[in-house]
Structure 1
Amino acid sequence: MATATACVRSLGVILVGLAMATVVRADQVVDLYTAEVLVTSQSEAERQRAAREGLADLVVRVTGDTQAREHPQVQEALTRAEGFITEFNYGSTRETVEVGGEARPASRLVMRFSSVEVERLLRSANLSLWPANRPGVLVWMVTREGGDLSRVSDSERREQLRARARVRGLPLVVPLNDLEDRLALQARQLWELDEEAIRKASQRYDAEAILVGRYSETTGGQWRSDWQLYHNLGNPTFYVRADSVEGVLSQAIDETANHFASLYAIVPREEGPGTVVMQVGGVDGFGEYKAVERYLEDLAMVRRAGLITLRPGVLTLRLMVEGDRSQLLGMLERDGQLVPAMQSGRISLSGNRFEPEGTLANPLSYTWQ
């Protein structure tokens, strides 16, 4: 009986640990094509207004470009925004909407937009497309009042961050600020941007990027802040000024989303897609071949994956892609479904190393996981 009790106790610890892992892990794939808007009724006029607002927000989220909604073709599409909706439903809320100076009870209209139609619109307008697999960002914040430093952990600030991150489609993790966090990282270490301490304390959250914000109020009542981003493709700093803390947080999320969009968004080529040749090892049977093909064609920047050769365990494919080869490599690295052949412990399948990489003579070489 004692042994059984110990096993149950151990299992409980394991389950708590797994539950904690799901709480603090960033989900890197975001829902690009669903929008939520508060409405005061279920009338057609309100639904049309909400559709316009939802599609405008969605265009910014999908492109990563806050100016995209001003494009003439997008403005024209907003006049018929309901035609982009594939399904919608209403949900109750405790929120209100101000109409003519009067607060009215609001419900939430959840709209699903057609990804095919939205992407067709963006392509015709030559606007960028930021794929749904996006870097998860862990956010630490610290504030100074007088001479005192304190970590920012209140729920209102967290929700302000999350709300703006949802609008921009940025996967966000906010620290638990539990005992482990407080012991691992002090407010002064955050304020001084102690990178070693910050990275060590961040390991439990398994986020691809870390954002550290430091803000304080000026004697004139404004808020000033600087934000340090740590990421394997660079560590930029953003300087933000606003009349409120909410404005500071919103702008910081925008700056971060704009930065990642500049790295990962794909701009359709006027002359058509480019070509990349890839060899994939570790493919056992026709079923896995089709799985590899489906996976590659589901990538936002891959227009088509065509088979060149198929031999036991190895396929060679020609990918018609939009965007730079470096963007394709970064996308594959984040997904982890295809591993570079050398990293997988297999001998590289590539050919002539003196030929340009990604060509038939020297294809990209990966192993299917």
Structure 2
Amino acid sequence: MRHLALLVLGLVTLPAMALTNVDLYRSEVVLDQEAKNADAQARIEGMKEVIVRASGDRDAVANEVVKKALRQNSQYLTQISYGQLDGEQTLRMGFSAPHIRSLLSQAQLPVWPAARANILVWLVEEQTDRNIIWEHSPSAVLEQLKSQADKRGLPLTVPVGDFDDITGVAVSDLWGGFIQPVGAASQRYPVDAVLVVKAQGNSLRWTLYDQKPATIGVTRQAPLSGSNNGEDAAVKMVNQLSDYYAKKTAVVVANESSEAIKVRFTELSDAVGFFTLENKLKKLSSVASIDILKIQGNEVTFNVHLLSSPEEFKQEVLRAGPIKQLESVVETPLVVITEPVEPAFEATPESAQGEVESNAQSTDSTTSLETVNTPTAPLVPAEQILVYEWQGKPYVYVAPKIEGEIVIDSDSAESDVESVIQEESSAE
């Protein structure tokens, strides 16, 4: 009897353990045994999965900054091991949370916080009969739904199917859309929203009540609804729900970088050279983004946000060419004091000048003058600036040839004249 009581208590308290704080930075990818570089490909796929999960944006992997980072995935990995999933070997990976967040900010992608809404899923499948799918029920739709929700980082809770669940809600309530009994039966679960899904073959119809179960049927908040078809209908549904919640709570963090350096380029004599250099820098795999700090004469100073080490950036810059490295410089930023400085003394009228002089002479020679406190500039650390010389050829404008006009090249004209003179002299 004691064991039975503990079992019932465990079933009642189990849903309270459901996590809404998602582990965003771990992934597990099945290894393609036929691929030449199976591990390398799996690391890329694992990082893609983490980026989509952390950003909430399925198109994040197409971002140019992210593409560069994927080729340097080892810099973001913190753990790696092998595992098994359904009899297949997998690669388990853990990625650095600060580095992934920094990458998203560099790429100007949103960050979907790890604390996410937990959704209670009431799934009804119609085959020969209509049945409610519980947490441990065999269901291909449920497995597909759970798998995709794990990839997107969407927390789901499925009813355990105990006595309270079975007696609390009927199939007809879920299929017919009677929301009050559904809301009442959902209140025992600590969730933030309730999803009712009706499955018929490869077709899904769903309704999302994005509110606490206690308010369902009480407030007039309209639910969200949709339908999906095909063998991947559950995947499509999870993607739509994930996109909805990501758009609702994700934020774009200000552009930051885990590491940035200042770089100055000289001998940029024209705008064409400047834009050519800027495009070369943006294409470097070690560069996330660049900011222009100063343009003075034929010199441009950039703040370069890095995806890799400064040493790798230096090597890539020289390979990009035509660039020559010069000696680096160290500069201290100019600090301007804006606080007013009080004068050390007040102006004395000429009539009182003699009195002041006499008082000064009578003053004891041992008396010291009071030190005047003046504000001092704050200490600002010096910054090292890498210096390079741009050796690209100056841009030369070539006028287009216009039909109906004769364009004479000076060099060819001179050669033609010389040939004519030689022919005339030989004829004579």
- Whether the TM-score (by the shorter chain) exceeds 0.5 is yes
Equivalent residue number for residue 197 of structure 1: 181
Structure 1 counterpart of 2:240, one-letter code: E
Equivalent residue number for residue 299 of structure 2: none
Matches of 2:133 and 2:86 in 1, distance apart? 26
Residue 33 of structure 1 and its aligned partner are, at CA, apart by: 0.4
Equivalent residue number for residue 38 of structure 1: 30
Structure 1's unaligned 5+ residue stretches are 1-8, 96-105, 272-369
Equivalent residue number for residue 242 of structure 1: 229
Deviations 1:214-272 (A, max 9, x none): 2324xxxx52423333325965423232222xx1211221111111111211112469x
Q: For the structure 1 residues 211 and 109, does the alpha-carbon distance in structure 2 shift closer, same or farther, using more than 3 Å as the test?
A: same
Is 1:209 the equivalent of 2:193? yes
Structure 1 counterpart of 2:230, one-letter code: D
Deviations 1:177-230 (A, max 9, x none): 23321221111110122111111111122211111112324xxxx524233333
Q: Which of 138, 142, 154 is the matching residue for 1:155? A: 138
Q: For the structure 1 residues 113 and 43, does the alpha-carbon distance in structure 2 shift closer, same or farther, using more than 3 Å as the test?
A: farther
Equivalent residue number for residue 366 of structure 1: none
Q: Which of 146, 151, 154 is the matching residue for 1:170? A: 154
Structure 2 counterpart of 1:73, one-letter code: V
Matches of 2:119 and 2:167 in 1, distance apart? 21
Aligned to 1:204, the other structure's residue is in SS state coil
Matches of 1:73 and 1:239 in 2, distance apart? 34
Q: Is the contact made by 1:48 and 1:81 (CA closer than 8 Å) also made in structure 2?
A: no
Residue 50 of structure 1 and its aligned partner are, at CA, apart by: 0.7
Equivalent residue number for residue 115 of structure 1: 97
Deviations 1:251-299 (A, max 9, x none): 221111111111211112469xxxxxxxxxxxxxxxxxxxxxxxxxxxx
Structure 2 counterpart of 1:71, one-letter code: N
Aligned to 1:214, the other structure's residue is in SS state strand
Q: For the structure 1 residues 19 and 144, does the alpha-carbon distance in structure 2 shift closer, same or farther, using more than 3 Å as the test?
A: closer
Q: Is the contact made by 2:204 and 2:234 (CA closer than 8 Å) also made in structure 1?
A: no
Equivalent residue number for residue 246 of structure 2: 261
Matches of 2:13 and 2:234 in 1, distance apart? 26
Deviations 1:290-328 (A, max 9, x none): xxxxxxxxxxxxxxxxxxxxxxxxxxxxxxxxxxxxxxx
Equivalent residue number for residue 107 of structure 2: 125
Alignment of 1:263-278 (within 5 A): 263-269=248-254
User: Percent identity, aligned pairs only?
Assistant: 28
Structure 1 counterpart of 2:227, one-letter code: V
Matches of 2:124 and 2:8 in 1, distance apart? 29
Q: Is the contact made by 1:73 and 1:125 (CA closer than 8 Å) also made in structure 2?
A: yes
Structure 2 counterpart of 1:199, one-letter code: G
Q: Which of 165, 174, 183 is the matching residue for 1:181? A: 165
Q: Is the contact made by 1:25 and 1:207 (CA closer than 8 Å) also made in structure 2?
A: no
Residue 15 of structure 1 and its aligned partner are, at CA, apart by: 6.4
Structure 2 counterpart of 1:155, one-letter code: P
Task: Choose 22-31 or 128-137, whichever is displaced more.
Answer: 22-31
Matches of 2:227 and 2:204 in 1, distance apart? 6
Structure 1 ranges of 4+ moved more than 3 A: 9-12, 40-44, 143-146, 232-236
Equivalent residue number for residue 44 of structure 2: 52
Which structure carries more strand by proportion?
1
Structure 2's unaligned 5+ residue stretches are 216-220, 257-428
Q: For the structure 1 residues 235 and 167, does the alpha-carbon distance in structure 2 shift closer, same or farther, using more than 3 Å as the test?
A: farther
Q: Is the contact made by 1:30 and 1:134 (CA closer than 8 Å) also made in structure 2?
A: yes
Matches of 2:35 and 2:237 in 1, distance apart? 36
Equivalent residue number for residue 300 of structure 2: none
Q: Is the contact made by 1:48 and 1:82 (CA closer than 8 Å) also made in structure 2?
A: no
Deviations 1:32-72 (A, max 9, x none): 00111111569992221111101111111001111111111
Q: Is the contact made by 1:26 and 1:137 (CA closer than 8 Å) also made in structure 2?
A: no
Is 1:61 the equivalent of 2:53? yes
Q: What TM-score results when the alignment is normalised by the length of structure 2?
A: 0.53
Q: Is the contact made by 2:124 and 2:197 (CA closer than 8 Å) also made in structure 1?
A: yes
Matches of 1:15 and 1:226 in 2, distance apart? 33
Matches of 1:173 and 1:237 in 2, distance apart? 18
Equivalent residue number for residue 122 of structure 2: 140
Residue 167 of structure 1 and its aligned partner are, at CA, apart by: 0.3
Task: Choose 68-77 or 41-50, whichever is displaced more.
Answer: 41-50
Indicate the structure (1 or 2) with the bigger Cα radius of gyration: 2
Q: For the structure 1 residues 192 and 123, does the alpha-carbon distance in structure 2 shift closer, same or farther, using more than 3 Å as the test?
A: same
Residue 145 of structure 1 and its aligned partner are, at CA, apart by: 4.9
Q: What TM-score results when the alignment is normalised by the length of structure 1?
A: 0.60
Structure 2 counterpart of 1:189, one-letter code: D
Q: Is the contact made by 2:15 and 2:190 (CA closer than 8 Å) also made in structure 1?
A: no
Equivalent residue number for residue 90 of structure 1: 82
Matches of 1:143 and 1:41 in 2, distance apart? 36
